[in-house]
Structure 1
Amino acid sequence: MTYKLPTCAVLLASYNGEHWLPEQLFSLNAQRGVDLRVIVSDDQSSDGTTRVLLEHASTLPLSILPAQAERFGSANRNFLRLVRDADIGNAEFVALADQDDIWHSDKLSRAIERLREDGAAAYSSDVEAFWPDGRKRIIKKSHAQKQFDHLFGSPGPGCTFVFTRALFLEIREWVTANFSTLSSLWVHDWILYAYARAHGHRWIIDGVPTMRYRQHQSNEIGVNFGLKAIQRRLAVVKEGRYRHDIVIIAELTGANPVCARALRRLSWLDRLWLIGHASQFRRSLPEVLALRLIFVLMPAAPIPEVA
């Protein structure tokens, strides 16, 4: 009897990644125990990204979506475009990929095995971050999930995400219907996690790192580690983007309307209520303590209503 490998569509967003793409594409080609194909959305790269992609298309099942008339200008919009437009064919699973990481050879097969064993609809994992100077650090995201942690952040880098076909198609319908509003938000991984959890889908966060997560100056997000990362995230809080995105995500997913209303008003009574419930919103104690401080620092500027 011939064993049929599980099929997986890998959605890869690229932009000026010629320096890192070869290693990532080699690691995709080295995936064991899965029949994969790669679908790329390139955001009008001005370097040799397209050349690198075409060079690897002879050894890796790879296709590139047609160029858009204008640049998306963010990884969020580029990934949402992939979710909306990529033809996944008959793929049983769908994974997301950044252009600059290095996947372990069992990344997809492990995720698929866990999804099947646990009857879950989505998967993410811890990662090993690495820097050009040789530093390495395990980034632990696999803390126990909380009731509403999906309204306040991602379960880890989106490049670890793997979805069942059924959940991906459900997410695609929602993203397509709300593409303009979702495109104005900060990060795609948080958006997709929030939808899945808010609609009752089981999500696994694996405590085993499944990839090497490259850190460099061109990272749009990167790991939340070090003084610069903290300063970058505080800037997002102070300019009001974090609060804005929480409210919009909560309202679009229909999750926790009490929390959404408190964040919209953000009176001092609302801030105290949010501080008191912060343990339901983040998965680790340091994150809970940081969120309590964030609730104090958040500006209370008006947030436009969701159309």
Structure 2
Amino acid sequence: MSAVEPLHILLATYNGARFLPVLLDSVLAQSDPNWVLLVRDDGSSDDTVTVLHRYAAHDARIRLMADEDATLGIRRNFERLLDCAHRAGAASFALCDQDDLWYPHKLARMRAALEGAQARHGGSTPILAYADLALIDDAGRSIAESHFGRAAAPQVRHGVDTWLIAHNLIPGCAMVGNRALLDLALPFPPQVFHHDWWLILVASAAGQVISVDAALTGYRQHSANAIGAAAPMSRILDFILHFRHSLEDARAQYVRAVDQAAALVERVGVGGHRKWIAAAGVARDRLGAPVRRVRIGAILAGPVRRIGLARNVLMFSVSLFPLRRRCRERSGAPSTR
């Protein structure tokens, strides 16, 4: 990719006026100024759009999408942004959340990682790079220095493996990707529930995923988060206190992983990396099998396991129940990652 081409930052907003100025100021303060911020609001009822127009009036790099659709939900909102960037000829993109804080050198570090990988593997290779995140509270105070460390998965700082087929621990706001990834990932198959999970799966199965071992984003945790980063013990306690609801969410997540694995095999096909396509085939055929003992055998034998004992116990427990194959998308649906 040429150094003169701006990176397209994609921001999906919905009732985010409270923290949006902090996010926008941190984007404006990036040491790498070569970017375009493409924003699509999903029908906010607060002052989000007013804030966006105010910033766009002072910086031509901030551009608001206008379409007739109101509320699409998180996945479809980001898909619309990704498609718009693709049609605009974007050579690279970054996903952005409305309530986070970008550290000053984030864009420069991520662009360097992406361009370095593209120089090694070629422009036709789908590439995604991601970094760690620091967790911050409503006031911007530090909660944890590492999102992956707090999630009891420090190995994710150094790369991904086929556990990614079963669950995703990497938020979209930590990711950047190239045009070849957009070429292959778009349009999203109907089985896709989380846009970021699909993008990193496609890059893993058909291209390259690069990890940057640094926390480059302040990942804000607050009560209004659609998707958050709860500590493992908090998740366990929540599961116990709200067992029925938690089990239903876990079962839905299991089915999404199975269905998305099938979509991955279909989209990437024989051109993908053998290890990843084989693992996705196991998830599709064995984790998604109607016979319980086949599902249990697949979890015990691998290669599709989650990170950590507790997550695997939950996955095993869910596999004991009959699968429900129809999961509707919900706007702002909570994550069970």
CA separation in 2, counterparts of 1:62 and 1:70? 20
Q: Pick which of 219-228 and 26-35 moved more.
A: 219-228
Q: Pick which of 85-94 and 7-16 moved more.
A: 85-94
Q: Which one-letter code corresponds to 1:80 in the other structure?
A: E
CA separation in 2, counterparts of 1:63 and 1:251? 36
The aligned residue for residue 281 of structure 1 is 305
The aligned residue for residue 242 of structure 1 is 253
Q: Is the 8 A contact 2:299 2:305 kept in 1?
A: no
Write out aligned runs for 1:187-206 (5 A): 187-198=194-205, 200-206=206-212
**Of residues 130, 143, 153 in structure 2, which corresponds to 1:124?**
130
Q: Which one-letter code corresponds to 1:142 in the other structure?
A: R
Q: Is the 8 A contact 2:172 2:196 kept in 1?
A: yes
1:31-53 deviations in Å (ceiling 9; x for gaps)? 12241011111110000000000
Write out aligned runs for 1:65-214 (5 A): 65-72=65-72, 74-86=73-85, 89-118=88-117, 119=120, 121-132=127-138, 134-137=141-144, 138-140=146-148, 141-146=156-161, 148-172=162-186, 174-175=187-188, 178=189, 180-182=190-192, 185=193, 187-198=194-205, 200-214=206-220
Seen in structure 2, the aligned counterparts of structure 1 residues 9 and 47 have a Cα distance that, compared at 3 Å, is same
Q: Is the 8 A contact 1:223 1:229 kept in 2?
A: no
1:253 aligns with 2:259: no
Q: Which one-letter code corresponds to 2:203 in the other structure?
A: A
Identify unmatched segments of 5+ residues in structure 2: 122-126, 149-155, 266-276, 328-337
Seen in structure 2, the aligned counterparts of structure 1 residues 143 and 229 have a Cα distance that, compared at 3 Å, is farther
Query: What is the TM-score when the length of structure 2 is the normalising length?
Result: 0.77
Superposition CA RMSD, Å = 2.6
Name the count of aligned residue pairs: 290
CA separation in 2, counterparts of 1:291 and 1:253? 22
Q: CA deviation at 1:88?
A: 6.1
Q: Which one-letter code corresponds to 1:139 in the other structure?
A: H
Q: Pick which of 35-44 and 162-171 moved more.
A: 162-171
Q: Pick which of 54-63 and 221-230 moved more.
A: 221-230
CA separation in 1, counterparts of 2:300 and 2:232? 27
Identify unmatched segments of 5+ residues in structure 1: none
Q: Is the 8 A contact 1:17 1:100 kept in 2?
A: yes
CA separation in 2, counterparts of 1:70 and 1:33? 33
Q: CA deviation at 1:10?
A: 0.5
1:221 aligns with 2:221: no
Q: CA deviation at 1:226?
A: 5.2
Q: Is the 8 A contact 1:124 1:155 kept in 2?
A: no
The aligned residue for residue 303 of structure 1 is 325
CA separation in 2, counterparts of 1:69 and 1:115? 33
Q: Is the 8 A contact 2:181 2:199 kept in 1?
A: no
Seen in structure 2, the aligned counterparts of structure 1 residues 87 and 116 have a Cα distance that, compared at 3 Å, is closer
Partner of 1:212: helix, strand, or coil? strand
Q: Is the 8 A contact 2:185 2:202 kept in 1?
A: yes
**Of residues 262, 273, 276 in structure 1, which corresponds to 2:286?**
262
